[in-house]
Amino acid sequence: MSTASLGHVEAVVRITAQACVDNEKYFGELDSVVGDGDFGYSMARGFELVIQDWDGFDRADIGTFLKKIAVVITSRIGGTSGPIWGTAMLRAASTAGAVTSLEPAQIVAMLRAGIEGIKARGRSDVGDKTLLDALVPAVDTIEQQIAAGADTAATLRAAAGTARENAEATRAMQAMRGRASYTGERSIGTLDAGAVAVAVILEALADQWPDLPARS
């Protein structure tokens, strides 16, 4: 993986936002099985705002840009997802700081900080059948790919594969956190909506990365 510019960070946010808008119905259906069906709607309404206000976000540096996005997410997405995704973004933004480019190691540190934010906010961990069950192994893969010297496209493709595999694996798990946990053992056999969302987003990133114009 090579050094990431603000342009790369912008691309990641933009693709993520578009994936959440495009998958509103799908994410909603996933959350309907043992949840309350609002996950797709909440994410779509929040990331819609990100797209709508796109040109207005302060792009002084990567940390500032991500922080502005995080504020929209945290303050405008309801449900559990707003605080979870917003906290993750905020922690990542702080970890990045006032820089205009990121080394691979910094990117991993940002992702790890985001994960710690989710765990703290959600009083949750890997194994609880949440998005963490896709996100944490995917970040492990990213770290491994970087260590192995893979390029960005290959790194994303590998991370997407890990996320999808682990999202599928949530089927076997019993939910210990979030609304799905109320159904107890009945949650076994269903996919976690948040974990699938992580896979979908990473797949979108992997798919669209090679086509991106070079950025400054």
Partner 1 sequence: MKKFVNDPQQFVPEMLKGIALANPDTLKYVPEYNLIMRIDAPRADKVSVIQGSGSGHEPAHVMIVGKGMLDAACPGDVFAAPPMDYVLETSKLLNSPKGILHIINNYTGDRMAFEMGKEMAEADGLTIGTLLVDDDVAVKDSTYTVGRRGVAGNFFVIKAVGAASEQGADLDELLRIGEKVNSVTRTMGMALTSCTPPAKGSPLFELGDDEMEMGVGIHGEPGRRREKLANANAIVDELLEAVVTDLPFSKGDDVALMVNGLGGTPISELYILYGYAHEQLAKRGINIRRNYVGEYCTSLDMAGTSITLSRLDSEIDGLLGAPAEIAIRTF
Ligand X SMILES: Nc1ncnc2c1ncn2[C@@H]1O[C@H](COP(=O)(O)OP(=O)(O)O)[C@@H](O)[C@H]1O
Binding site for ligand X (CB under 6 A): 31, 35-36, 38-39, 42, 79-81, 84, 118, 122, 124, 130-132, 177-179, 192-195
Q: Which helix (H) or strand (E) holds 4?
A: strand 4-5
Does residue number 74 form part of the binding site for partner 1 (CB under 8 A)? yes
Q: Between 98 and 123, name the residue whose CB sits nearer to partner 1.
A: 123
In the numeric block, the tokens 């510019």 are attached to: 5
Strand-strand pairing, 101-102 and 4-5: antiparallel
Q: Between 120 and 147, name the residue whose CB sits nearer to partner 1.
A: 120
* Category of 127 on φ-ψ map: left (φ > 0), alpha (ψ -120 to 50) or beta: left
Contact pattern for Mg ion over residues 29 through 68, marking x by CB under 5 A: --x---xx-xx-----------------------------
Instruction: Tell me how far apart the alpha carbons of residues 164 and 153 are, in angstroms, rounded to a whole number.
Output: 16
Residue 84: Cβ within 10 Å count: 24
Q: Amino acid letter at 45?
A: R
Q: Between 16 and 155, name the residue whose CB sits nearer to ligand X.
A: 16
Strand-pairing partners, residue 4, are: 102
Q: Between 51 and 147, name the residue whose CB sits nearer to partner 1.
A: 51
Binding interface with partner 1 (CB under 8 A): 28, 32-38, 41-42, 45, 74-84, 86-87, 121-122, 176-184, 186
Binding interface with Mg ion (CB under 5 A): 31, 35-36, 38-39, 79
